[in-house]
Amino acid sequence: MSTLKARQFAFAAHLRDETAPPPPGIEARRLAVYRELFFNTIENLLASNFPVIKKTLGQTDWLQKVGAFHRQYRAQTPLFTHIGCEFIDFLQQQPQDPAAPWLAELAHYEWMELKAQIDDTPVPAHDCDGDLLQGIPLLSPQAWPLVYQWPVEKISPVFKPTQVPAQPSLLLVYRDTDMQVRFSSLAPLAYRLLQLLQENQGQTGQRLLQKLASEAAQTDSPVFLAQAQQMLASLKAQGLLLGTRA
């Protein structure tokens, strides 16, 4: 059994990196077929998860990144739908690439589309017609306010920033009632409100708006509170707020 295990480890190491010695007794041509099959499977999977990165890096740099991931990284999941998350973890562990310092953030942003598609977090019991101010407003579990230091939503083969902008990118990713994934940019106030809603454990909508007003130094402004109430109503109309907790 120990011999079999040693051969399996040698075989796996050689499939990851052809410079690693293969187990004896296997024809080189057959080993090459297996190496190509394994690499192409990983490359095709990652290409489907990160199409913008592949186009932006170009074929040569893209294959180098995938090759390094294939050789060096030890994934902790057997699930194909989670390999993209492992690739993000790999990129975050690597020294920052001066030519693509935004790479890990862009990977996370792209992966959020798949996460939104497959997320199966159950919706808690709620009252669709509950009072958003007096009750505890409930944000859809398939809505994620996100913040990135790089403008990930704009990066492309013709736009590869090298300097961090003065303002971060505030974005919303969500799955609508038609099961379509949507992306939108957020103003700072809307982002903070969504963040408070996402973190909320038991405060009423009125308390959350008061906290928002306090942070914005607008506690005594009825206009600010009225606008914030309109934001709550707008989130409800978009389906991002499901109502209030039962």
Q: How confident is the model at residue 220 (pLDDT cuts 50, 70, 90)?
A: confident
The residue from 76, 95, 114 where one domain ends is 95
Give the chain's radius of gyration (CA, Å): 24
Quick one: 135 and 235 in the same domain?
Answer: yes
**What is the mean predicted confidence (pLDDT) over 222-228?**
91
136 with 235, same domain: the answer is: yes
Tell me: pLDDT of 40 over 70. Answer: yes
Residues 6+ apart with CB under 8 A from 21: 10, 14
pLDDT band of 207, cuts 50, 70, 90: very high
Q: Is the pLDDT of residue 4 over 90?
A: no
Domain-embedded: residue 220: yes
Residue 90 lies in domain: 1-95
Last residue of a domain, one of 95, 114, 148: 95
Tell me the C-alpha distance between 87 and 235, whole Å.
33
Does the structure show a pLDDT above 60 at 204?
yes
Q: Are residues 196 and 147 in the same domain?
A: yes
Work out how many domains the chain is built from and give that number.
Answer: 2
Q: Are residues 127 and 203 in the same domain?
A: yes
Tens of pLDDT along 118-130? 999 999 999 999 9
Output the pTM of the full model. Answer: 0.90
Residue 246 in domain: yes
Residues 78-104: tens digit of each pLDDT? 888 899 999 999 999 999 999 999 999
CATH number of 202's domain:
3.90.930.50
Does residue 47 share a domain with residue 139?
A: no
